[in-house]
Amino acid sequence: MSRRAPRPERLVALFVTVLWAAVVFAVDGVLAVLLDRDPIESDVGPFYAVLAFLVAGLVLWMLLSGTSASRHPLWGALGALSLVYLVFLGVAVFWGLPLVSEQAASPFVLNAAVLAAVAVVATWAALRSLRWRQNRG
């Protein structure tokens, strides 16, 4: 009976997703200071942001897990960019159309989406480099 080598993609994807959320919070904080505005201007309470980040994190984790074994990260990066953006808008629907329109034009949501695409490409490149080194040696 042959044992397959362990595949760390899902665990790496989980760590990268947590890192993505931390970086997004940090960059959004800097953007809030530089732009002198709140990430969410509407009075919606904390649950919108928490729910949006949880759902976006789950989507990003699935995309990272799936893209890590692909030949190119392009579709995964485009998927992350669009799906994270749409998740933030989709969750905002439960709080009303004014929040959806606010979040659609928000640089904070765009930041989260772009950083999700960057996370997909960086994870793909790192795992591909790791596999290349393992196969070479």
Distance CA 105, CA 85 (A): 11
Q: What is the pLDDT along the chain (137 residues), one digit of tens a residue?
A: 567 666 678 899 999 999 999 999 999 999 999 999 999 999 998 899 999 999 999 999 999 999 988 889 999 999 999 999 999 999 999 999 999 999 999 999 999 999 999 999 999 999 888 777 767 76
| Cα atoms in the 13 Å half-sphere on the side-chain side of 124 | 22
Q: How far apart are alpha carbons 120 and 45 in whole angstroms?
A: 30
63-87 tens-digit pLDDT: 999 998 888 999 999 999 999 999 9
CA distance 86 to 109: 9
Residue 58, CA distances (Å) to 14, 31, 33, 44, 61 in order: 9, 24, 28, 22, 5
Rounded to an integer, what distance in angstroms lies between the CA atom of residue 23 and that of residue 117?
13
Type of residue found at 85: Y
Query: What is the gyration radius of the CA atoms in the chain, in angstroms?
Result: 17
